[in-house]
Structure 1
Amino acid sequence: MERKPHHIVPWRLSVAPMMDWTDRHCRFLHRSISRRALLYTEMVTAPALVRGGARHLLRFDAFEHPVALQLGGSDPAELAEAAKMGEGEGYDEINLNVGCPSDRVQSGTFGAVLMKTPDLVAECCAAMIATVDVPVTVKCRIGVDDQDPVVVLPDFLEKVQAAGVRRVIIHARKAWLQGLSPKENREVPPLDYSLVFAMQAQFPELHISINGGVESIDKASELLDSGVGGVMIGRAAYHSPWDILGDVDRRVFGGANPYEEPREVVLGMIPHIEAHLAEGGRLHSITRHMMGLFLGRPGARAWRRILSEGATKPGAGIDLLLTALEEIDQRDAA
């Protein structure tokens, strides 16, 4: 698939890779709302691609550009092969996951546990960089377990930079590999934005994006003004996509927003939904990502109820979507 040139800096604001959430339908929705933010896949493991033949996991629509593939793994040769597959499919960036704390990734020796082996991370990055022409980036934590982030993070960044990495996304929290669930690891360890700011100052040639606790575009703008190269937003962009992304193209990128209100987004999604249904797909696969489009607006509860109750039923189609949208229109007209 051919990549299209970009005359913008998409990584100034990005939507985080989120397991079970940022699939191709979610990304299509987010791209409908913002034409400029950088989007990420869910983490795809290198073994699944290289040994498991799971190339279908790389599927995406050209409309999603700019879009990055996040890989999980710890074997340099395998990651290089998976990165080559991602580049061949047309991804604009290959990102290595050094931040996910779940048991599943720990058992596979990748994700946040790799914070303990920066030399291996550097070797993995160097192998991918030698294999592909698109940027290779890293998403990491400030440290794990009893590590002192002030000590380990500069060492980690120095090593990945020496390997050729030019962009790093830092989730500004530690990860506790034992004792906290993945959900708790996103909320319990305290945020340390100041350390990330210090790293951007200490490594001026690295483009550093900050991640963690960013729940509004106002907060994102504030962080950008603090000197980091970019901001990555996770759960807030998923739960309230319009509130987070609806004005991003204007406020962050200085361009025009594609839509003025979320109702237009729904109508704009119809061709994508029809194509998915024509392939035998289910309505719920797409509408589950659209639940928060009208968050806080009149009719939002009815919108969610109609879709959650009806979209999983056999034969559910565009009519159900339009019925749910009527609830919003009626409340707006009231």
Structure 2
Amino acid sequence: MSTPVSIGISSCLLGERVRYDGGHKHDHYLSDTLGRFCRFVPVCPEVGCGLPTPREAMRLEGDPAAPRLVTRKSRIDLTAQMQAFCRQKVVELEREDLCGFIFKKGSPSSGLFRVKVYNAGMPPRVGRGLFAAAVVEHFPLLPVEEEGRLHDMALRENFIERVFAYRRWQDLLRQERKIGHLVEFHSAHKLQLMAHSPELYREAGKLVAHGTEMEPTALFARYLELFMKALALPATVKKNTNVLQHIKGYFRKVLAAEERLGLQEFIDAYHNGLIPLVVPITMIRHYVRKYDQHYLMQQVYLSPTPPELMLRNHV
């Protein structure tokens, strides 16, 4: 990356003792592994809006579409105080050049999915923390995730891949918004988009092909919508296999028979769940260098994130 990969994060996940009980929820993968490749921007909405540590626990109550933030015992409604902080903070975050945000699971301020909303009876898990909701509304295309879901390797891979893709897009916007720059960006991400959504890849391709017919700001905004929507869809084994077969076609005139057979065996083994994606990708990258395949050298799909993150090593 030519510029830092900045990720917003709930402060407690970095070990800061800001939780209601004075504790933290330090996630060492985030701080020690992912943290080697990004700059974290920590936020604790409760402390940020002026509440002490430790403090009385809070919960969401009322309408899940517009919940209230209320202290559990003293029944103090803190909704307006928290919302005022949220409005100010999302504007401040515009200056941080964020590429993603990681929220604390279950938090009435920062929970992204399935937060309990209390009324009479068993509280349904249908809410979203007030700060998380404000961030999603203000940055609708920003990659966001909860730390708990990042323990799932497929979800972790998808999130981090989107974060680095968003960084590359932000770098593109540092240049003048010319159609030629967008063509180059789209071309470099062709295989990555195909692995996530062949349909949205084709739609984005048509948009770029007719890009001269649109005003640049509108063109780039629409492309980003399609780009991030595509990457949010999972890159399945079937779609990855199709991309690997597509890549193999670029070598049909240069690979020896034994090399073609070996590559196909690795692709089949990946397709059948016997080896991780990194194995055929590593062989392909070797052939890209060996046979000087310039087009494939530019493909983000072959190296979308730092290899040290081990994202393609799961079966």
Range into which the TM-score falls when normalised by the shorter chain: under 0.3
Structure 1-normalised TM-score? 0.27
TM-score (norm 2): 0.28
- Which has a greater percent of helix? 2
- Higher relative contact order structure (alpha carbons within 8 Å, sequence separation ≥ 6): 1
Tell me which structure has the larger Cα radius of gyration: 2
